[in-house]
Amino acid sequence: MLKTFGKKKLVKDISASTLQTAITQAFSLLIFYFTSRYLAKDDFGEFNWSMAVGSTFIAMASLGLDVVYVKRIASGQDAVVMSGIHFFHTVMAGLVLTAMVFGVQLIFPSFAFAHPLFLMVFINLSLINIANSFRLALIGMEVYKYLAILAFITNVIKFALILFLYLQSYFTIYNVIYTFILISVLELILGYFFVSKSLSVRVKPILKIQEYKYFILESLPQLGVVFFDSALARIDWILLGIISTATVTADYSFTYRMYESSKLPLLIIAPILLTRFSKLFSDPERIDDKNRNDIRYFFKFELFVVMLIPITLACAWTPLMDFFTNNKYGKVNELNYLVLAACVPLHCISNFLWSMGFAQGQLKAIMYITLSVAVVNLGLNFFLIPDYKGMGAAISFLISTVLQTTLYIKLMNQKHIQLDLGTCLLAFVNAITAVCVGKLLSDQAVISAFIALALFSGLAVITKQIELKQIRNIIKQ
């Protein structure tokens, strides 16, 4: 494989990315467990609604700079200047938007009364957005070691504080949010330190009008993507909170959070794909047949791995979730999760094609795809949520994801590297077969999941979706 995509550094980077992502997800799930189980459903639903609305506004205020920022650093542009400009942008966005939210609450006290958590949640999201500027810089520089250290320190302290609140009977929604804000400040400080150390210079907010202007101009097509992608990701939560109740929002947001955790392998691989493809397509002439075959195999293996968690949870959802949440979020959400789980492999395909398209500068095509999908998703949610509530939101998301994947397959430039869609279809069939057989052969969640995983793995080997020889070659390179 190409140096930019393979060799030992690929395995090393995946290992480091796996470590930091696994740490983050493990502690996030523990904290999520405490908040979902021990907070009232109305408080949990209101908190998640505030997070959905706030994160949508924060995403729009990014102006699409984030992925362009990573791409610029990965492709060798001045990281000190880039990080300084992005740092300035996130600080200003946080200050302006927080002031606007505060003003809205003063002018419209009814909003503050209906959503008392919103301002505090928004302050936390603004701090996270500034801290994320440093995380993105570390990703662009491929310094995954510092990302792992950052994740470990902040998540251990956050969980320790949450556990303290629970054990000392201070576990209220307000104390939880105060804890989140404190940890966001810590993450910001540590991120600043690690980036400054990596660059051997203290990072400062930089306002260079010309560079900032060109940065924004390059990112403008991506702004549409960010805007409509945010709507696609959170419009269901927002509409459920408006059309339905906080309890329904709590049920669906719990399921959606578990769906996001089911995409753990994608969270590990996605930043690596972006930096690798950014380097790879800077000189497409270097891509030969061997490179293409290796990259296609890497995708097949990724598609196999990304299905393991959804298969497990599809077999064990109700008893597992009811056990951990004291019968609050298990049976009531089983069908919703099965619908959302079907989106995981589709997102794997879309993310791979998006990474290639973005690295090749196909920003307009990506924007048109995201716009189309967001409009369809919005319409479906308006049509289905009033009658079907959480299930309506899940079905809307599945249909939109199918459309998104189809458009990426049709519109992304695959001249240099073409994916084998027959392999994708075969992987889906293997997964569905494994889940159905596992559920038919046993009513016990653990046994059913074990049968399904064993069968899926066996079918993957038989159909050559994974080959042990190829795995060994990747590790040895």
d(CA 414, CA 176): 47
Instruction: Please provide the average confidence, as pLDDT, over all residues in the chain.
Output: 84
d(CA 155, CA 144): 16
Tell me which residue of 300, 263, 348, 285 sits closest to 474, measured CA to CA. 300
Q: Residue 105: CB partners within 8 Å, gap ≥ 6?
A: 111, 112, 118, 119
SS3 state at 203: coil
Asked if 134 contacts 188 with a C-beta cutoff of 8 angstroms, the reply is: yes
Q: Show the tokens assigned to 7.
A: 């060799």
SS3 state at 426: helix
d(CA 426, CA 200): 49
What digits encode the pLDDT tens for the residues 228-255?
666 566 777 778 878 877 788 888 888 9
Going from N- to C-terminal start, the domains of the chain cover 7-476
SS3 state at 283: coil
| 475 has a pLDDT exceeding 60 | no
Tell me which residue of 191, 352, 201 sits closest to 269, measured CA to CA. 352
Tell me which residue of 215, 264, 244 sits closest to 78, measured CA to CA. 215
Asked if 64 contacts 220 with a C-beta cutoff of 8 angstroms, the reply is: yes
| 260 has a pLDDT exceeding 70 | yes
Asked if 377 contacts 404 with a C-beta cutoff of 8 angstroms, the reply is: no
Structure confidence at residue 178 as a pLDDT band (50, 70, 90): very high
d(CA 376, CA 372): 6
Element (H, E) at 62: none
Structure confidence at residue 398 as a pLDDT band (50, 70, 90): very high
d(CA 160, CA 166): 10
- Identify the pLDDT of residue 221: 64
Name which residue leads in pLDDT, 220 or 24.
Answer: 24
| 300 has a pLDDT exceeding 80 | yes
- Identify the pLDDT of residue 14: 59
- Identify the pLDDT of residue 1: 40
Task: Record the pTM.
Answer: 0.71
| 7 has a pLDDT exceeding 70 | no
- Identify the pLDDT of residue 387: 86
d(CA 346, CA 307): 10
Section 9-31 average pLDDT: 69
Tell me which residue of 385, 374, 394 sits closest to 333, measured CA to CA. 394
| 225 has a pLDDT exceeding 70 | no
Beta carbons within 10 angstroms of residue 387's beta carbon: 8
Strands of 358-425, DSSP E: none
Q: What is the DSSP letter of 98?
A: H
What digits encode the pLDDT tens for the residues 265-289?
887 777 677 677 777 776 666 666 6
- Residue 337 exposure: Cα atoms within 13 Å on the Cβ side: 28
What digits encode the pLDDT tens for the residues 338-395?
999 999 999 989 888 888 887 787 877 887 888 888 889 889 988 998 888 889 999 9
Distance from the first to the final alpha carbon of the chain? 8
| 185 has a pLDDT exceeding 90 | yes
Asked if 279 contacts 142 with a C-beta cutoff of 8 angstroms, the reply is: no
What digits encode the pLDDT tens for the residues 92-141?
999 999 999 999 999 988 888 888 999 999 999 999 999 999 998 888 88
Tell me which residue of 236, 237, 233 sits closest to 50, measured CA to CA. 237
